[in-house]
Amino acid sequence: MKMLINVAETVVADALRGMAAAHPELTVDVERRVIVRRGAPYEGKVGLVSGGGSGHEPLHGGFVGRGMLDAACPGEVFTSPVPDQMVRAAAAVDSGAGVLFVVKNYTGDVLNFDMAAELAEDEGVQVAKVLVNDDVAVVDSLYTAGRRGTGATLFVEKLAGAAADAGAPLDRVAAVARRVNESSRSFGVALSAVTTPAKGTPTFDLPAGELELGIGIHGEPGRERRAMMTSGEIADVVVDAVVEDLRPDGPVIVLVNGMGATPLLELYGFNAEVHRALTERKVPVARTLVGNYVTSLDMAGCSVTICQVDEELLGLWDAPVSTPALRWGC
C-alpha cells in the first residue's frame, strides 16, 4: 500500500510538525504530544480537553480553537494517549474554573483519562469527565465495553465548547456535554478496509462487491456484511438504525461523515438520500454538516450521526467556532 509518509514510526510526529507549521494559532508540543489553543488558559473559562489515537483526523487536534477544545492529546495510530499527556493538557488550559475531559468510550481511553483525572486533581485541577457512547451498531466491541464513541464526539466538543466560551461553569458545561451525548446516535458503513502505517496492508478482509454495516472507526466488526448496495439503500438502513434507537420527537442536527477515503461528491449524494430518508420518517433537520471529520485513515465509507436539539442546543451549535477543521461565525 502506498502512503505519503517517511517511515511508520514517525508518522504521528511528522503530522504534528506539519500541523504546527500550518496553524500558528495553536501551540503544538511534538515531543510531549499535546496540542493547545494559543493563549490558554483564558481567565474564568472552563478548559475542554479530549484526545485519542491518531488516524481519525481532524478529530481531535483539528477541533482545538475558539468555540471547541482548548487542548487535544494525540496517541499513536489507533492507540490511546497516555495519562501524562492529559495531565499536561489539563494544566495548560486550567484557569481555575476547572477542566472537562471528553472521552470516547474505548477501554484504553477510559482507563487513561480516569487515571489522568486523578493525577490532575492531585495537582489542584478540578476535573469533570463525560463519556461519549453514541454508536448504535453493536455493544461490547473489540475495544469497548458498551457502545463505541464515534461521530457524536464532534457534537459534544462543539456544543460544550460553545457553552464554555460563553462563560458557563464546569457543572453546566459537563451537563451540556452529557445531554448532547444522550441525544445523539451514530451508525457507520465500510466500503473498504483500513490500512495502518505500521501494518501496510488492510487490517481486515472485505471482499470486492461487499460492504460492512455497523463498522467501527478502528475497523472493528459491525453488525453484518451484505452485497454492495446503492446510496439510497444504505441511507435507509443507516437512518432506520439511528432513528429507531433515538426516536427523536423534534429537530435534529445531522452529520454525514466520511471515513477518510470517500470523496465529497459521493458524500453529498449520500446526504441527499439521508435527508430523503429522514423526511420520510418525519424527522425534521435543523442543521447539516457534511465532510470527513471522524475518520479511519484510508477507509472508504461513511457514518451518520443525528443529535436532537432544542433552541438552546441549536444556539450553541450556531455559536462562532474557529478551529483548523470547523469554522463559522468568526
- Catalytic residue IDs: 56, 218
Phi, psi of 280 (to 5 degrees): -65, -30
Task: Tell me which residue has cell 446503492.
Answer: 230
Which of 251, 102, 249 is CA-nearest to residue 181?
A: 102
Strand partners, 202: 195
Residue 71, C-alpha cell as written in the block: 487542548
CA atoms within 13 A on the CB side of 144: 27
Q: What span, in angstroms and rounded, lies between the C-alpha atoms of 285 and 317? A: 13
Q: What span, in angstroms and rounded, lies between the C-alpha atoms of 170 and 127? A: 8
Centroid of chain to Cα 307: 14
Are 328 and 293 in contact, with CB atoms under 8 Å apart? no
CA atoms within 13 A on the CB side of 224: 6
Are 116 and 83 in contact, with CB atoms under 8 Å apart? yes
CA distance between the termini of the chain: 40
Helix (H, G, I), strand (E, B) or coil at 287: strand
Are 308 and 315 in contact, with CB atoms under 8 Å apart? no
Are 198 and 8 in contact, with CB atoms under 8 Å apart? yes
Helix (H) or strand (E) holding 111: helix 107-122
Are 305 and 248 in contact, with CB atoms under 8 Å apart? no
